[in-house]
Structure 1
């Protein structure tokens, strides 16, 4: 099975097996957001266990 390149670009699998993705909505129109929300958007988000299994299969065949 080949690697799903679109998913490989969007998700990162860590050494311990967690799947991380970039927070949505952080490219533009952020000046109206509060500082708290802007800071929180800088962090990567961890995916749920159900999605983690699916993404791992497609990113690391």
Structure 2
């Protein structure tokens, strides 16, 4: 009998990308609207992508098993 495949969490697959070196990259939320009250620094830093911290990277990798 064939091995059962794991299901990819589709919401996680849309939000995370695995780089060539194996780091998990994500794009920050909360910068689309209500920007007048936010500082320039906060808006600028929201435009950049960031990497998932090491302490939760294992949990994110379980959600996207075939992208790792």
The TM-score bracket by the shorter chain reads: 0.7 to 0.9
Higher relative contact order at CA 8 Å, sep ≥6: structure 1 or structure 2?
A: 1
- Alignment gaps of 5+ in structure 1: none
Q: CA RMSD in A?
A: 1.4
Moved over 2 A (4+): none
Q: List alignment gaps of at least 5 residues for structure 2.
A: 1-5
Select the structure of larger CA radius of gyration.
Answer: 2
Quick check: which one's helix share is greater?
A: 1
* Equivalent runs, 1:12-51 vs 2, <5 Å: 12-51=17-56
